[in-house]
């Protein structure tokens, strides 16, 4: 029989307190739960390993016995591990079988911790195919046929299902107009409507679309965690947008109209004469919609940058040189 280091299984130190142990178990169990990883045998094995470890060291009485065995086993290894380790002295009864197992968590406690996660078909919440021989030998039970139970507490009080989260990435234009995404949670496929105005860090709640309820309780919520990708032209600042506005030398000097393509359509902007590079123009209401008030929009700030015409003729260059000659009194 192989020794199992339950502290290693949960990724905690041997002096970890009860809160740390419980938190470590929750993290692993949620990550590897069969409802989250349907058909993944490796994940199911990890889930069983974490569950068995928590059953052993999450209960103070069983943890004391396990710690005594662990210390004795390590001392035996330090002495060279000669011969076979005497497991019989640690058996929970003379036969090492058939004893009554106690559980760190009841089915109700399990549902409290994981919500709708646990109704995994044939998977028994705390054992499935049973605990290991090491656990059963130490704490009693059916030697690999431990008394499991399904995650749903039959006959128990109704409970809300587990809240779930899904990562969703949008373009800035999708965030402007609002969009839909098809998301999958386990066996369920949902077409989710994403409102306009969302930004990176926004959470869209889909009520009742999370894990199934327990004993007839309501389903949990599904949360879409939004990330909005950077745009090639527009920079976002809250509900405002910023854009670089290149205009040629002649328009900056003489003034004129320019067209700016926004997510809401084309807008015209009048450039005054003798506009300097870096000058900012505010186009009110041409920014992003406000998430809480979708009929309200931020502003668009366009910053002017002067660019030289690429197709200047020799005559134009000569004319500019003549102009410079006439203004030598102001040229340093």
Residue 87 belongs to a domain with what CATH number? 1.10.287.110
Determine which helix (DSSP H) or strand (DSSP E) holds 61, and give its type and residue range. Answer: helix 60-78
How far apart are the C-alpha atoms of 54 and 270, rounded to whole Å? Answer: 70
The pLDDT of residue 84: 79
The pLDDT of residue 57: 94
How far apart are the C-alpha atoms of 274 and 94, rounded to whole Å? Answer: 99
Listed in sequence order, the residues at least 6 apart from 112 whose beta carbon sits closer than 8 Å to its beta carbon are 159
DSSP H stretches of helix in 215-282: 249-254
Are 56 and 177 in the same domain? no
Residue 159 dihedral angles phi and psi, to the nearest 5°: -135, 150
CB atoms within 10 A of CB 166: 18
Domain that residue 80 falls in: 6-139
In whole angstroms, how far apart are CA 62 and each of 54, 104, 106, 205? 10, 9, 16, 41
Listed in sequence order, the residues at least 6 apart from 83 whose beta carbon sits closer than 8 Å to its beta carbon are none
Are 130 and 12 in the same domain? yes
Assess if residue 20 is contained within a domain. Answer: yes
Mean pLDDT throughout 292-299? 95
The pLDDT of residue 117: 52
Are 26 and 64 in the same domain? yes
Q: For the chain, report the end-to-end CA distance as a whole number of angstroms.
A: 92
Please give the tally of structural domains in the chain.
3
CATH number at residue 219: 2.60.260.20
- Please tell me the total number of residues recorded for the chain in this structure: 332
Average pLDDT, the chain: 82
Does residue 174 register a pLDDT over 90? yes
Model's pTM, two decimal places?
A: 0.52
- Beta strands 179-185 and 188-194 are antiparallel
- 11-51: per-residue pLDDT in tens? 999 999 999 999 999 899 888 888 778 888 898 899 999 99
Mean pLDDT throughout 141-162? 51
- 66-92: per-residue pLDDT in tens? 999 999 888 888 877 667 788 888 886
Query: Where are the strands (E) in the chain, listed by range?
Result: 164-170, 179-185, 188-194, 203-206, 222-228, 234-237, 240-248, 256-262, 265-271, 280-283, 300-307
Instruction: Place 126 in a pLDDT band, splitting at 50, 70 and 90.
Output: very low
Assess if residue 156 is contained within a domain. Answer: no
């Amino acid at each position: 029989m192989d020794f199992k280091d339950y502290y290693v299984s949960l990724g905690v130190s041997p002096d970890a307190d009860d809160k740390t142990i419980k938190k470590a178990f929750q993290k692993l169990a949620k990550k590897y739960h069969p409802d989250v990883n349907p058909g993944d045998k490796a994940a199911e094995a990890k889930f069983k390993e974490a569950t068995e470890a928590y059953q052993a060291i999450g209960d103070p009485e069983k943890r004391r016995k396990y710690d005594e065995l662990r210390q004795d086993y390590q001392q035996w290894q330090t002495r060279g591990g000669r011969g076979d380790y005497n497991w019989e002295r640690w058996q929970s009864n003379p036969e090492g079988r058939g004893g009554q197992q106690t559980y760190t968590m009841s089915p109700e406690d399990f549902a409290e911790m994981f919500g709708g996660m646990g109704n995994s078909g044939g998977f028994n919440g705390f054992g499935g195919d049973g605990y290991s021989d090491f656990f059963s030998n130490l704490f009693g039970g059916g030697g690999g046929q431990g008394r499991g139970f399904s995650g749903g507490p039959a006959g128990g009080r109704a409970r809300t299902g587990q809240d779930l989260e899904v990562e969703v990435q949008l373009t800035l234009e999708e965030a402007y107009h609002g969009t839909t995404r098809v998301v999958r949670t386990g066996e369920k496929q949902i077409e989710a409507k994403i409102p306009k105005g969302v930004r990176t860090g926004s959470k869209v709640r889909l009520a009742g679309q999370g894990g199934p309820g327990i004993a007839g309780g309501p389903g949990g919520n599904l949360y879409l965690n939004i990330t909005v990708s950077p745009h090639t032209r527009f920079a976002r600042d809250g509900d405002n947008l910023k854009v670089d506005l290149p205009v040629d030398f002649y328009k900056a000097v003489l003034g004129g109209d320019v067209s700016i393509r926004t997510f809401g359509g084309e807008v015209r902007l009048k450039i005054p004469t003798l506009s300097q590079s870096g000058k900012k123009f505010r186009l009110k209401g041409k920014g992003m919609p406000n998430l809480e008030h979708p009929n309200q929009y931020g502003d668009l700030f366009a910053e002017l940058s002067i660019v030289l015409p690429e197709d200047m003729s020799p005559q134009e260059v000569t004319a500019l040189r003549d102009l410079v000659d006439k203004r030598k009194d102001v040229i340093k």
